[in-house]
Amino acid sequence: MIPLSWYLMLAAALFCVGLYGMLAERHLITMLMSLELMLNAVILNMVAFARYLEPQALHGKTFALFIYALAAADAVLGLALTVLVWRNRDTVAIDKINTLKG
């Protein structure tokens, strides 16, 4: 059986890639994808812990399911905002969305 730590390392790597994408990327769609990566890392973590630490209990799995719902809500809202910005400005490059100072 694959040891737990492998899953955790994969999740940590996914999370870091997502975080890097959120911080460094300049395109809105790529940023939304990075956000999904971060949430996927959380789900992977939860499921792996649940499988290895308490295979009988449901805490971790329930938690993971709820994160799915949340990730979906976040994605919907993010895409809606992207479409809104696209319609109003004809661009989704984050550098060009800078009417508010600061």
Partner 1 sequence: MSLTSLPDQSLIFLLPELILLGAILLILAVDLLAPVARRWILYLSLLGVVGAGGATVSLWGVNRRVFAVLSLDNFALSVNVIALIAVAVVIMISKDYAYTNDNQPALFYTLLLFSAINICFLGAATNLVMIMLCFDFLSIGAYILTGFPRGDLHANEAALKYFLYGSTLSAVLLYAMSWLYGFTGSTDLVGIAQGLQNWSVEAIQQGGSPLVFVPLLVLMVAGLSYKVAAAPFHQWAPDVYEGAPLPVAAFISVGPKLAGLALFVRVTLVLFPATLQLGMRWRWPLLGLIAVSSMTFGNLAALWQDNIKRLLAYSSIAQVGYMLIGITVASEDGIAAVLFYMLAYVFANLGIFTAITIYESQTGAVNIGDYAGAHKRAPFLAFVTTFCLLALVGFPTTGGFVGKLGLFAAAIKGGLGWLALLAVINSVISLAYYWRVIRAMYFTPLWTESPVEISGIYQVALGVTLGGVLFLGLLPQFVLPLFQAAAHVFFSH
Residues that bind partner 1 (CB under 8 A): 8, 15, 18-19, 22, 28, 31, 35, 38-39, 41-42, 45-46, 49, 53-54, 57, 59-60, 62-63, 66-67, 70, 73-74, 77-78, 81-82, 84-85, 88-89, 94, 97-100, 102
Would you give the end-to-end CA distance of the chain in angstroms? 51
> Please, what is the minimum distance in Å from the beta carbon of residue 63 to partner 1?
5
Q: How far is CA 3 from CA 15, 36, 48, 96, in A?
A: 19, 25, 10, 46
Tokens of 59: 């805490």
Least distance in angstroms from the C-beta of 84 to partner 1: 5
- What minimum distance in Å lies between the beta carbon of 7 and partner 1? 10
**How near is the Cβ of 15 to partner 1 at its closest, in Å?**
6
Question: What letter would DSSP give residue 100?
Answer: S
Say how far residue 16 (Cα) sits from the centre of its chain: 11
Alpha-carbon span 29 to 64, nearest angstrom: 24
Nearer to partner 1 among residue 1 and residue 53 (C-beta): 53
